[in-house]
Structure formats: C-alpha cells, structure tokens
Amino acid sequence: MAALHRHSWCGATALMVPLLTLAAPQLLKLDGVAPAWAVLWLLPWALVDGPVSGTVAGVALGLALDSLQLGPASELPALALLGWWWGRIGRQGPPIERSFSLGLLALLGCLLLNLSLLVPNAWRGELGWSQLQTLLAQTLLTALLAPMLCSLQLLLWRQQTAGPKG
C-alpha cells in the first residue's frame, strides 16, 4: 500500500482545491466556467494511494467544497465514489501513465460529478440549457487540463511513495 497520505505536505495540497475554486483564475476558464479542481486533484491521489485513501480524500474534499456553496446538491457522494473507483483502478491494473487515459478518466469523473449536481435541479424541474452548457464546458476543460496537471502530480507522488532507492 502506498503511503502518500503519510506525507503531510501531500495532504496539504488538497487545500489548493477550495482555494482554486474560490480564486477561479481567469486564464483557466472556458466561457466563464472553471475546471473541476476536485477531479484534477483526486484522480492522481486515488491512483497512487488506493481506494480507501481515495474515498477518504473524496469525502474530505466534498465536505470542504460543500461548505463553500449553498444549495441542495452535494459533491460529497460523487467525489467519494470517484476516489474509490480510481483507487481500485490504480491498484488492480497496470499503472496509468498515458495522457489519454488520464484525460478520459477526468472526463468521466467530471461528467459524473456534474450529473450528480444536476439531479436535484432535474427533480425540481429547474434544469435549463445554461446548466447543460456549464456541464459540457467544465467537463471539456477538465479533460483537457488533466493530462498536464495529473501527469505532474502522478510523477511527483509516485516518487514520494517509492522511497529511497539504493
């Protein structure tokens, strides 16, 4: 089992997710929509540290992000499910290294996350075209950024868990 969660500075990087969500850098927006920072952080974390740590990290991120917004929708269940799923993928198969694979996993994760946020609106009959456009823009932007950002995080965190060689 990887010990990424034992490195305090690695866990502290999760604080960047709410900060980036609040800051929402204009340079990284598509039509005013920011990427899903939680997906971009959780994907490499779960791939490296496994399903249990991925689930716990998803719950923690979900709680942090839900505290930033009001409304009936919660990111917590989707992030916990994604952390568990990506952690299992990281444990059971060969290591994910290709950029296309990271982009596809991020696309699916962002789509699931956004759909879980839209379900309460759909039940109340408040689902509009603008919400679907936001879902598509965020999913596309997250999938395009994932190969670059997640690859760097994977390399860094795999080096941290590998330990000293010699």
For residue 166, pLDDT over 90 is answered with: no
Residue 1: the pLDDT is 44
- For the chain, the average pLDDT equals 87
Q: Count CB atoms within 10 A of the CB of residue 45.
A: 29
Binning pLDDT at 50, 70 and 90, where does residue 139 land? very high
Each residue's pLDDT tens digit, 55-80: 999 999 999 999 988 777 889 999 99
Instruction: Identify the pLDDT of residue 62.
Output: 93
Domains and CATH numbers, the chain: 4-160 (1.10.1760)
CA distances from 120 to 54, 60, 67, 133 (A): 25, 22, 17, 17
d(C-alpha 49, C-alpha 32), whole Å: 33
Q: Considering only 50-54, 120-124, 153-157, which range has the smallest mean pLDDT?
A: 120-124
pTM of the predicted structure, to 2 decimals: 0.89
DSSP state of 71: S
pLDDT of residue 103: 95
Are the CB atoms for 33 and 138 separated by under 8 Å? yes
* Separation in Å, CA 111 to CA 4, 79, 90, 103, 166: 27, 12, 20, 12, 43
* Amino acid occupying residue 107: L
At 10 the pLDDT is 65
Give residue 50's identity as a one-letter amino acid code.
G
Among 104-108, 116-120, 132-136, 142-146, the range scoring the smallest mean pLDDT is: 116-120
Work out the percent of the chain whose per-residue pLDDT is above 70: 91
For the segment 100-121, the average pLDDT, to the nearest whole number, is 91
